[in-house]
Chain A
Amino acid sequence: MGKTLAEKIWQEHVVRSAAGEPDLVYIDLHLIHEVTSPQAFDGLRLAGRPVRRPDLTIATEDHNTPTQNIDQPIADPVSKLQVDTLRANCAEFGLRIHSLGDIDQGIVHVVGPQLGLTQPGMTIICGDSHTSTHGAFGALAFGVGTSEVEHVLATQTLPLIRPKMMAVNVEGELAPGVTSKDVILAIIAKIGTGGGVGYIVEYRGSAIRAMTMESRLTICNMSIEAGARAGLIAPDETTFAYIKGKPHAPQDWDGAVAYWKTLTTDADAKFDHEVTLRAEDITPFVTWGTNPGQGAPLSSSVPDPASFTDAEERSAAERALVYMGLEAGMPLKKIAIDTVFLGSCTNGRIEDLRSAAAILDGKKIASTLRMLVVPGSARVRLQAEAEGLDKIFINAGAEWRNAGCSMCLGMNPDQLAVGERSASTSNRNFEGRQGKGGRTHLVSPPVAAATALRGTLSSPADL
Chain B
Amino acid sequence: MDKFVTHVGTAVPLRRSNVDTDQIIPAVYLKKITRSGFEDGLFNAWRNDPAFELNQEKYKKATILVAGIDFGTGSSREHAVWALQNYGFKVIIAPRFGDIFRGNSGKAGLLTITLSQHDVEALWSAIEAKPDVAITVDLEARTVSYGHSSVGFVIDDYTRWRLMEGLDDIGLTLQQTDSIDAFEKSRSAFKPQTIPAK
Residues of A in contact with B (beta carbons under 8 Å apart): 15-16, 20-22, 24, 26, 28-29, 35-36, 38-39, 42-43, 47, 49, 52, 54-58, 63-64, 76, 78-79, 81-82, 85, 96, 115-117, 119, 121-122, 127-129, 131, 142-148, 150-151, 154-157, 159, 161, 163, 193-194, 197-198, 224-225, 227-229, 247-248, 250, 252, 255-256, 259, 290-291, 312-313, 315-316, 319, 409-411, 428, 430-433, 436-437
Contact = CB atoms under 8 A, between A and B. Distances in A.
A147 B169 contact: yes
A36 B80 CA distance: 12
Contact of A22 (B32, B96, B107, B158): B158
Contacts of B77: 35-36, 145
B126 to A, nearest CB: 19
Contact of B194 (A76, A96, A313): A96
Contacts of A42: 33-35
Interface string B15-37: 01110101100111011111100
B30 A16 contact: no
Query: What 8 A-B pairs are tightest by C-beta distance, nearest first?
Result: A145-B104, A145-B78, A147-B107, A38-B33, A143-B76, A129-B76, A247-B198, A146-B78
Contacts of B170: 43, 47, 49, 150-151, 154-155
A430 B74 CA distance: 9
B100 interface: yes
Nearest to B78: A145
Contacts of A49: 170
Given A20-B157, A411-B31, A316 B22 contact: no
Interface of B: 16-18, 20, 22-23, 26-28, 30-35, 44-45, 68-70, 73-79, 81, 96-100, 103-104, 107-108, 117, 156-158, 169-170, 172-174, 176-177, 179-180, 183-184, 187-195, 197-198
Contacts of B192: 29, 116-117, 119, 248, 250
Given A82-B33, A159-B169, A28 B191 contact: yes
B156 A411 contact: no
B105 to A, nearest CB: 9
Interface of B is mostly: loop
A85 B190 contact: no
Contacts, number: 215
Given A147-B104, A252-B189, A428 B22 contact: yes
Contact of A15 (B35, B183, B194): B183
Contact of A194 (B45, B69, B198): B69
Nearest to A436: B45
Nearest to B192: A248
A225, A316, A437, most chain B CB atoms within 10 A = A316
A197 B96 contact: yes
Given A55-B195, A229-B100, A431-B45, A20 B81 contact: no
A122 B45 contact: no
Nearest to A313: B17
A64 B69 contact: no
A95 to B, nearest CB: 8
Given A154-B173, A250-B190, A312-B17, 20 more contacts: A16-B179, A24-B173, A26-B183, A29-B192, A36-B78, A39-B33, A55-B194, A78-B31, A96-B194, A142-B100, A144-B100, A150-B170, A161-B158, A194-B96, A224-B74, A291-B20, A316-B17, A411-B28, A433-B22, A436-B28
B184 to A, nearest CB: 8
A131 B70 CA distance: 20
Contacts of B75: 128-129, 409, 428
Contacts of A76: 31
Contact of A193 (B28, B68, B73, B190): B73
A423 B115 CA distance: 37
A121 B100 CA distance: 22
A39 B35 contact: yes
Given A26-B183, A145-B107, A411-B28, A151 B173 contact: yes
